[in-house]
Amino acid sequence: MTRRITLSDVAEKAGVSRATASAVLSGKAGLGIRVSEDRKKAVLAAANALGYVPNTAAQHLKKGDDNHIIALFTYENIFPSDSGSEFYPFFQGIQQEAERENYDVLILNNWARDKSRSSRIRLASGAIMIGVNRDDSDIRALIRQDFPLVFVGRRDIGNSLPIHFVTFGYKEAVSRIVELLAPRANGRIVYISSTFSSAEPSADKSYYLHAEAEKRGIEVEDIVLCDMPSSREVGEVLSAEAVVFDRLFIADLFTPVFNARGIVPGRDIFGAILEDDWTGTHCEWTVWENRRPELGALAVRYLVALLSGEDMIPGEVRLPVIEKQSTHGF
Amino acid sequence: MTRRITLSDVAEKAGVSRATASAVLSGKAGLGIRVSEDRKKAVLAAANALGYVPNTAAQHLKKGDDNHIIALFTYENIFPSDSGSEFYPFFQGIQQEAERENYDVLILNNWARDKSRSSRIRLASGAIMIGVNRDDSDIRALIRQDFPLVFVGRRDIGNSLPIHFVTFGYKEAVSRIVELLAPRANGRIVYISSTFSSAEPSADKSYYLHAEAEKRGIEVEDIVLCDMPSSREVGEVLSAEAVVFDRLFIADLFTPVFNARGIVPGRDIFGAILEDDWTGTHCEWTVWENRRPELGALAVRYLVALLSGEDMIPGEVRLPVIEKQSTHGF
DNA sequence: CTGAAAGCGCTTACAG
DNA sequence: CTGAAAGCGCTTACAG
């Protein structure tokens, strides 16, 4: 590999100083720095003849400015070869919005294997964090230094460090779902969540569910699964007039139970899942619409605002509720 | 935004020189440079307390080594919000293989709008180029400087510049298709291509088709569409025993024609398309399998080899042919 | 065993 | 109107 052409090469060939060459090449000639037409032409000609391409890393190191790269960090694999990933829609929204804002995206998801982790993020001007938030001292160091980081989904990182995040408008969507269930709930909702997904979003959804139910005088019975549903837990669900699952996969745990008893969801049992049906396979339950790309895009806008020094408070992404589309008798 | 912690801050706090701090932090202490245990601990403690995160850009600028970033460049949009993109499978293969090789991927597809184009690529150690190859002097400058560039698909960039590329094994696949058509071709194949896709791959496919047909004593009648098929061209196709379309979209141009005459492809007309059926909608024609992710992965391996100084000659990606799966009488 | 110095490729005050 | 110099954050010879 031959040595790369540098600014010095161009300056030498054009017979000017590096300062002059730099001014001409970066279009600064004219403002503040005046360069004669002859020298300007000489520099341009030399750059062209040599095939000069500036080293952006050096430019940004010197200028200390935004290099228009957004890192996208996740512990999960958003590009599985076989099927779709639940993180992919976020990525799509991020990529599109970044493109619109004229930022490039650096994908950093071989993270787990790497030693010098937080430093890879530092190559970008800021980062968007997707997926499960493991306890990670590198990330904490970044946050302490005010490195611009935006999390997709609300996060509590402890130590009362201020965290930037964007989130879905769970409150409105969950309230709407309770409103829809109320007429049939007969004063009682069974709410099934799981210790496997006890992160912040679930905490939020649970909170709003209880608040809205209380407002309507509906009693909420909480079931928190640690494992496959026990027979007692199955009994509770079957006895319910209205059932709410926290996640799609939790509803799926009950599919064999329903099948075994000839129970058809949407006909014999009625309820909702507090998630978008991104798999397109749960139309017998009330869910909300997939707004993942929109949330990804919002994260980008938030990050870009941070990078521009604006202290934007991002809005939430609204989640329109889709009522169960059953034709089975309701 | 508070000032970032630099190596100097750490050195000062630990009461050592920047050289010592650097050696400790990069694990070089022990080989060549000996640092006492006390100072080592002091440096580590200071780095930790301050939350030091090295500036990778500066490290690489100084060392001049591979920063383990691969740029992915395309003029096309590989992340359309609505439908699938024909470039996405390449991207998927590239991303997966890069991850395996411990490279990060920098997505550069807001290229069109940008002024300082080739310099953005320079931020990476090398680049993979996808999609249509516009005439671009920036890219040529990069090639002239031996910047590691690997094209997905064979490329002629002119000026007899040496180009690195990976390609599908069209020869074998096209030969196999001619072999499959031969028994029914009655000595004549009509081959329809288009001026809209006259890039290198089409040239290659055309070449191999003619070569194999000649070997078998089959005459090839070439039709090159500049527009919608004319009635003469439609007549030629309808009269053919065996028809070969260069691309899926070219076959699609004839769909209304077939419909209007009650002709059912796979029953009344027989042939192949020289492309993988990545849309999954052309099963009435003989095609080959989708190997786009594999080609993307091969491009990554090629680029990584280039970056390691090996002068790898990449193999081609084989394209297994899928015979028409019709049940309509053949 | 450790530090002062040079330098990666660039830009931006600051003198002339 | 132009160039010499300092410096962005690092590392790596090279003296002590």
A222-247 pLDDT per residue, tens: 999 988 888 888 888 888 889 999 99
Of B67, B99, B145, the CB nearest to A110: B99
Contact across the interface for A147 and B79, Cβ inside 8 Å = no
pLDDT of residue A115 exceeding 60, the answer is no
Please tell me which residue, A135 or B235, carries the higher pLDDT value. Answer: B235
Are B190 and B154 part of one and the same domain? no
- Note the CA–C1' distance, B11 to C2, in angstroms: 13
Is the pLDDT confidence value at B122 over 80? yes
Report yes or no on whether pTM surpasses 0.75: yes
A25 and A52 Cβ atoms separated by less than 8 Å: yes
| Per-residue flag: B22 CB under 7 A of strand D | yes
Read off the DSSP letter of residue A203.
H
* Average pLDDT value for chain A: 85
Give residue-wise pLDDT tens across range B37-87.
888 888 888 888 888 888 888 888 888 888 899 999 987 777 776 657 888
Are B284 and B304 found together in one domain? no
Question: Are B292 and B89 a contacting pair, CB within 8 Å?
Answer: yes
The 3-state DSSP class for residue A327 equals coil
What are the tens digits of pLDDT across the range B206-215?
999 999 999 9
Q: Which residue is nearest to nucleotide C1 (CA to C1')?
A: B34
CB A317 within 8 A of CB A166: yes
The residue-averaged pLDDT of A282-299 equals 93
Q: Which residues of A touch B140 (CB under 8 A)?
A: 51
B253 C-beta less than 7 Å away from strand D: no
Q: Same domain for A303 and A160? A: yes
pLDDT confidence bin for B174, thresholds 50/70/90:
very high
The answer to whether B114 contacts chain A (CB < 8 Å) is yes
B286 to chain A, any CB pair closer than 8 A? The answer is no
B108 and B133 belong to one structural domain = yes
B326 is a domain residue = no
* Domain match, A310 and A277 both: no
Protein A312 CA to nucleic acid C8 C1', in Å?
A: 37
Q: Are residues A197 and A238 in the same domain?
A: yes
Let me know whether A185 and A272 are in one domain: yes
Q: Cβ of A57 and B57 within 8 Å? A: yes
Min Cα distance B288 → chain A (Å) is: 19
The CATH number that applies at residue A244 is 3.40.50.2300
Whole-Å CA distances, A241 to A190, A222, A264, A269: 8, 14, 14, 7
Domain-embedded: residue B276: yes
From the number of C-beta atoms within 10 Å of its C-beta (0-12, 13-18, 19+), residue A150 rates as buried
Q: Are residues A92 and A41 part of one domain?
A: no
Contacts of B105 in chain A (CB under 8 A): 106-107
Using a 10 angstrom Cβ sphere, with 0-12 exposed, 13-18 middle and 19 or more buried, the burial of residue B12 is middle
Domain with B25 in it: 7-52
C-alpha–C-alpha distance, residues A61 and A55, integer Å: 10
Instruction: For residues B238 and B308, state if they share a domain.
Output: no
Residue A32 lies in a domain: yes
What is the least distance, in Å, from the CA of B94 to any CA of chain A?
10
The C-alpha R_g of chain B, in whole angstroms, comes to 27
Any strand C atom closer than 7 Å to A34 CB? no
Q: Strands across the sheet with B286-288, in order?
A: B219-225, B188-194, B242-245, B271-276, B286-288, B321-322
- Does B258 score more than 60 pLDDT? yes
Establish if A249 touches chain B: CB-CB under 8 angstroms.
no
Most B-contacting residue of A10, A56, A68, A109 (CB-CB within 10 A), to test interface: A56
Tokens for B237, please give them.
């196709």
Diameter of chain A measured on Cα atoms: 89
Binned at pLDDT 50, 70 and 90, residue B111 comes out as low
Least confident of A149-163, B46-60, B220-234: A149-163
Does residue B193 sit in helix, strand or coil? strand
Q: Which residue has the tokens 């001007």?
A: A125
Whether A12 maps to a domain, the answer reads yes
* Chain B residue with minimum CA distance to A98: B110
Best CA proximity match to A64, nearest among B261, B6, B95? B6
Same domain, A226 and A127: no
CA distance B300 to chain A (A): 15
One domain for residues A114 and A224: no
The number of domains in chain B is 3
For residue B327, tell me if it sits in a domain. Answer: no
Q: Is the CB of A61 under 7 A from strand C?
A: yes
Query: Over the stretch A82-107, which tens digit does the pLDDT of each residue have?
Result: 657 888 889 989 999 998 998 999 99
What are phi and psi for residue B286, nearest 5 degrees?
-75, 130
Q: Does B145 touch chain A (CB under 8 A)?
A: yes
* DSSP category for residue B29: B
**What pLDDT score was predicted for residue B330?**
42
